[in-house]
Amino acid sequence: MSTPAKEAESLTAKKIPIFIMGKQYMVPETLTIMKAMEYAGYQYVRGAGCRGGICGACATVYRKPGDYRIHSGLACQTVVEPNMYLTQLPFYPANRQVYDYATIEATGEAIAQLYPELFRCVACNQCTKICPMDVEVMDYISAMKRGDLELAAKLSFDCIQCGLCASRCMGELPQYHIAQLVRRLVGGKIAPKTEHVDSMVSKIAADYYKDKIAELKKMPLDELKKIYSERVQEPHQGPEYWTPPSDVGL
Ligand code: SF4
Ligand code: SF4
Ligand code: FES
């Protein structure tokens, strides 16, 4: 995140040359690609969202001098390097099938029917190599081919839908769309039901919180701040399955 200190630092930082779509610009060496492009005068209309490495909107590909490889990264997370030669890839066409979630079965066959190109994967591993989130893309595709949807959902969990894998795929697969469908099916139709979520949803539906919210809205700011800072919080180094001591705040 940009802070006044960081902005001041970028003003005094050494300038380095980078090439954006073939044109050279001198930019502070401390900037991310996203900030460097803005520094160079570009305005993001598309290709930027969260600016925090979460939304997957800012995929970028680049090369470096003396290096034959294509590099990739998220523009909001990757710091510029001297003479990098880059372009943004904010969108990469990839077919997404339409399905009826209510009737589709959570099986490998259903996935294969919607996305038969799954079997065009030649196991080249380019998708895994380019993924900025270090997702084992080829492995989740293999799991789908075997019908192991739970494993595919688990392996693809960190996918942020940037589309870079599809841009490199020898088999022309839309990996991340297939993975999204698989996670939806696993989450909604295979994973065990979570009783605490059901009970919370019923409480909300029954207006359990209505009066509490109205009460909070009337409180003076100082009192609100006090309640907020004194709330029960999960300890930073708590056990893996921490639960609040009671129904505090619920
Ligand atoms: S799996 Fe593909 S779409 Fe998802 S983050 Fe990795 S490269 Fe991007
Ligand atoms: S890039 Fe495409 S063909 Fe290569 S391993 Fe990944 S899914 Fe398979
Ligand atoms: S702007 Fe969201 S990941 Fe970069």
C-alpha neighbours within 13 Å on the C-beta side of residue 162: 35
Q: Which residue has the higher pLDDT, 117 or 247?
A: 117
Find the distance separating the first CA and the last CA of the chain, reported in whole Å.
Answer: 33
Torsion region of 57: left, alpha or beta (phi above 0 gives left; psi -120 to 50 gives alpha): alpha
- Given a cut of 80, is residue 70 above it in pLDDT? yes
> In this structure, which ligand is nearest to the CA of 162?
1
Q: What share of the chain is helix, strand, coil (3-state, %, to 5)?
A: 40, 10, 50
- Given a cut of 60, is residue 1 above it in pLDDT? no
pLDDT score recorded for residue 177:
97
Q: Which atom of ligand 3 is nearest to the CA of 49?
A: 1
- Per-residue pLDDT tens for 222-245? 999 999 999 888 888 777 777 777
Please give the domain boundaries of the chain with CATH numbers for all domains. 13-88 (3.10.20.30), 108-190 (no CATH)
Nearest alpha carbon, ligand 3 atom 1: 51
- Per-residue pLDDT tens for 129-172? 999 999 999 999 999 999 999 999 999 999 999 999 999 999 99
pLDDT score recorded for residue 244:
76
- Given a cut of 80, is residue 58 above it in pLDDT? yes
pLDDT score recorded for residue 232:
85
Closest CA to 87 of 17, 19, 27: 19
Strand 59-63 and strand 23-28: the pairing is: unpaired
**Mean pLDDT along residues 7-11:** 66
Q: How far is the CA of 59 from the centre of ligand 3 (A)?
A: 8
pLDDT score recorded for residue 231:
87
pLDDT score recorded for residue 135:
98
- Per-residue pLDDT tens for 180-214? 999 999 999 999 888 888 898 999 999 989 988 99
Q: How far is the CA of 152 from the centre of ligand 2 (A)?
A: 14
pLDDT score recorded for residue 5:
63
Q: What is the pTM of this model?
A: 0.80
Nearest alpha carbon, ligand 1 atom 6: 131
> In this structure, which ligand is nearest to the CA of 55?
3
Q: Which residues line ligand 1 (CB under 6 A)?
A: 130-131, 133, 135, 137, 159-165, 175-176
Q: How far is the CA of 131 from the centre of ligand 1 (A)?
A: 5
Mean pLDDT of the chain: 92
Please give the structure tokens belonging to residue 216.
């909070």
